[in-house]
Structure 1
Amino acid sequence: MRFDEIARDLVHTASRLLRGRIVNIMDTSGVIVASTDAERIGTTHEGAREVVRTGRPVAIEKSDVPRYPGAREGYNLPVLSDNRLTAVVGVYGNPEEVRDSAYILQAYTEQFFRQKAIERQSRISDGLRADYIRILMNLSAGGGERLAELAGALDLKLVFPVRMLAFSVRGAADSLTRQQLLSRVAEDLQSQRLVDAERDVWAVIEDKLLVLKSGGDGNYLRRAHGCAEDAAAAPVQLCAGHLCAVLEEARTSGCEALTLGGRGECGVFDITDPQCRFAYLMRRAAEREEDFVGRMYRELGERFSGRELETMLATAAAYYEAGGSVTKAAEALHVHKNTLQYRMRRLWEAVCPGVGGSFEREFLLRLCILYHRQLRLRTPLI
């Protein structure tokens, strides 16, 4: 936003603050860039030029007006930013009567410009961080040099090992709402010092908050997840890739986090956990062989009706989650053990007839279960 646009926003608010008094904002050349008296915009205010020259307030009595071309009676003050004069504000009226109002306007204007500068710098930093994450996740020839430039602009000093984290908010109705909630999550992670602008990089990209985190053990993940759910007031999924000793590995860490995120459930999922590693490898296999898994799933659809297929795959999921224990799986599903064993035999015959190895049967059926879940979520495999 340009200076004159900011000034126009300011004068109308300031006029209401000062009970409708006429207020002007001048630039450092003495030109009125914003005023509640629209006819004066673009004219030169000699009183403002004197404020710029001297850095001191200028009170203009009615009798002084001829000495200040383009000015009217009133009180004019310098506006400072980092001890540098950036503008002049003036309030129309008897100087003795409007002096206090002018000082209120000066303080309000300085604070207003300061806040706008902070917001502008924040938007610039957000853009630089988003560029960093995008380049990192699509690293190509020459990308390393650009990353170094962005790190310099952000004053970023990564502390290795680093790892990529992916936050997702579940249950939000639309993409815009999810992005707004993730922005709030990012703000709270900063305020709780769970991300550090000097050591970490983060950006909301599409429907995920990606964070390149310096360090970040299991305890950190639990704390960050709790903070995220409090900020979003909604269930959150946090997925973490492996720790990287060098930046070149971070893209792989990010791919791991995004792949883990495809499972749809909420909670913390860390690639260093053996179960998460298995889930990651299954997803990678499903991604690479999507056509093959799709054909296998369609063959199941030809053998079982829609509702029956749902029941059969839920049975297989419970069986494998119970470590192959018929008793535990049957109890979880509230069915008889014979019923569970019957369903599993029918599935094995349908998916892998003639295959007797338990590993092979489990691998193929888990791929079908994964494919089925992805269809229900109506999301891609990764």
Structure 2
Amino acid sequence: MKNITMSVFSDLAQDFVEATSSLVRGRTINLMDTKGMIIASTEHGRIGNFHQGAKEAIETGRPVRIAKADLPKYKGAKEGYNMPIFQNGQVIGVVGVYGQEEEVQDVANLLRVYVTQSFKQQVIARRQVMEGELRSQLLDLYLLGNPDSQENIEQLSDVLSCHLCFPVTVIVLKTTAPSGISGIYDILRQYFGNDEVFSRNDIYGAKDNIFILIRSFTGSKRPDHFEDIAANLCRGKKELRMVISDSCANAGEIVEGYKEAKALLSLSGDGIDRLSEARAKSKLYLGKLLQHGGSHYIQQLNRTLRNEVSAQQEQTLLENAKTYFLMDGSVSQAAQALQIHRNTLLYRLNRLYEILGLNDVAPFERELFIRMLIAFRAEEG
């Protein structure tokens, strides 16, 4: 789509003549195609008529002046000045302005320059919109994972010159900022630059108010380079939340990678989660347990705790347990992190187990239920 096609030229032509008529004090402006047909005019009745002067300008590539005395030999023309419009060295149309040569020659030349630049800008904008729509379709095909869509994927990839290089990761982002998805685009461009974020080997778009990037790692880029900068970005912006999937070796794994990343994104939290890390996996599957059958028992535990202790004590007991689990069950390390005596920590843990009725439960199950309780309360807000 490097050149302006005639269909695009025709679509934009009438908008142009209407917009520029006032700039030339209401003079008649015509735009003609490469066949010499008037495709846009401030005199609507002339649209569709043949213009001999335009045809001559197209064939010669030179301006054509038409004086009153010349009108008999120029079918469909009026007195005025007609300038060929070039794009990439080829004539794509003619702009004509009604009036005597000395009055309109400079105006016609300015309009020629203006229309050329205006059409270029609008074509670029149209191309960007079209590419965005095609990328969105390609993204949907990958995320749906229908084996029958492979031919469509290949066709769209060829049209966009966009081919994933496996392995890839699926990166999902959401924001609470007022700017929404468009703000995410701006933030990513600011921190990474267009070439770094949106390469020809990446597929990206927005779906369900989530920004999605299927990212290839090629050439000299370190696989974790994007993740490192993204982590710093999310830490600096509380309104951003990001989840990065496991490495996906093929198109089938993209579907699962997206589902897991989106599921984890829907859970409460901030910053960045990498599903290549066990802690992120734990958070994901705890969330799934709560969503699919585990919430009733956890709600019971939550009510029991609230009935036994104050809100401040609840928070203290659960925060202490959370730190203890994060320290892999090391009382000394957890106590040091909490800046309390180890005996105090042991007392609080045993108190929590007693209230919840988990004293006689195996350590793994006890930790699972309390982690689910912590996750439930986080979702509850």
TM-score where L is the length of structure 1: 0.81
Q: Deviations over 1:228-262 (max 9, x none)?
A: 899xx873223211223333322233233323323
Counterpart of 1:238 (choices 227, 238, 242) is: 242
Structure 1 gap ranges (5+): 377-382
- Name the CA shift for 1:40/1:319 in 2 (closer, same or farther; >3 Å): same
Moved more, 39-48 or 205-214: 39-48
Q: Partner of 2:259 in structure 1?
A: 255
Residue 205 in structure 1 maps to residue 177 in structure 2: no
AA matched with 1:62? K
- Name the CA shift for 1:234/1:293 in 2 (closer, same or farther; >3 Å): closer
Q: Check conservation: 2:170, 2:214, Cα contact below 8 A.
A: yes
Query: Secondary structure of the equivalent of 1:106?
Result: helix
Offset at residue 312 of structure 1 (A): 2.0
- Name the CA shift for 1:313/1:297 in 2 (closer, same or farther; >3 Å): farther
Q: Distance in 2 between matches of 1:109 and 1:372?
A: 61
Q: Check conservation: 1:242, 1:253, Cα contact below 8 A.
A: yes
Q: Partner of 2:3 in structure 1?
A: none
Q: Deviations over 1:240-298 (max 9, x none)?
A: 1122333332223323332332344443322233xxx2232332243255243210232
- Name the CA shift for 1:42/1:132 in 2 (closer, same or farther; >3 Å): same
Offset at residue 310 of structure 1 (A): 8.0
Q: Deviations over 1:297-356 (max 9, x none)?
A: 321343244995686256414532352567887898899988866664454345453434
Counterpart of 1:110 (choices 101, 105, 116) is: 116
Offset at residue 16 of structure 1 (A): 4.2
Q: Distance in 1 between matches of 2:104 and 2:190?
A: 43
Q: Partner of 1:348 in structure 2?
A: 353
- Name the CA shift for 1:113/1:352 in 2 (closer, same or farther; >3 Å): farther
Query: Secondary structure of the equivalent of 1:245?
Result: coil
Q: Partner of 2:301 in structure 1?
A: 300
TM-score where L is the length of structure 2: 0.81
Query: Secondary structure of the equivalent of 1:299?
Result: helix
Residue 368 in structure 1 maps to residue 373 in structure 2: yes
Offset at residue 213 of structure 1 (A): 1.1
Q: Partner of 1:82 in structure 2?
A: 88
Q: Partner of 1:379 in structure 2?
A: none
Query: Secondary structure of the equivalent of 1:59?
Result: strand
Query: Secondary structure of the equivalent of 2:197?
Result: coil
Q: Deviations over 1:61-97 (max 9, x none)?
A: 1222232233221111222333333322112221233
- Name the CA shift for 1:252/1:14 in 2 (closer, same or farther; >3 Å): same
Query: Secondary structure of the equivalent of 2:196?
Result: coil
Q: Check conservation: 2:234, 2:241, Cα contact below 8 A.
A: no
Number of aligned residue pairs: 367
Q: Check conservation: 1:18, 1:101, Cα contact below 8 A.
A: yes
Q: Deviations over 1:11-40 (max 9, x none)?
A: 233334445543222233333332334444
Moved more, 240-249 or 332-341: 332-341
Q: How does 1:6-25 map to 2 (within 5 A)?
A: 6-18=12-24, 20-25=26-31
Q: Partner of 2:4 in structure 1?
A: none
Q: Partner of 2:135 in structure 1?
A: 129
Residue 70 in structure 1 maps to residue 71 in structure 2: no
Counterpart of 2:106 (choices 81, 96, 100) is: 100
AA matched with 1:259? A
- Name the CA shift for 1:178/1:229 in 2 (closer, same or farther; >3 Å): farther
Q: Partner of 2:279 in structure 1?
A: 278
Q: Partner of 1:193 in structure 2?
A: 195
Q: Partner of 1:164 in structure 2?
A: 170
AA matched with 1:154? L
Moved more, 136-145 or 350-359: 350-359
Q: Percent identity?
A: 29
Q: Distance in 2 between matches of 1:302 and 1:226?
A: 38
Query: Secondary structure of the equivalent of 2:241?
Result: strand
Q: Check conservation: 2:57, 2:84, Cα contact below 8 A.
A: yes
Query: Secondary structure of the equivalent of 2:158?
Result: helix
Query: Secondary structure of the equivalent of 2:147?
Result: coil
AA matched with 2:365? E
AA matched with 1:208? I
Q: Distance in 2 between matches of 1:21 and 1:225?
A: 59
Q: Distance in 1 between matches of 2:187 and 2:41?
A: 39
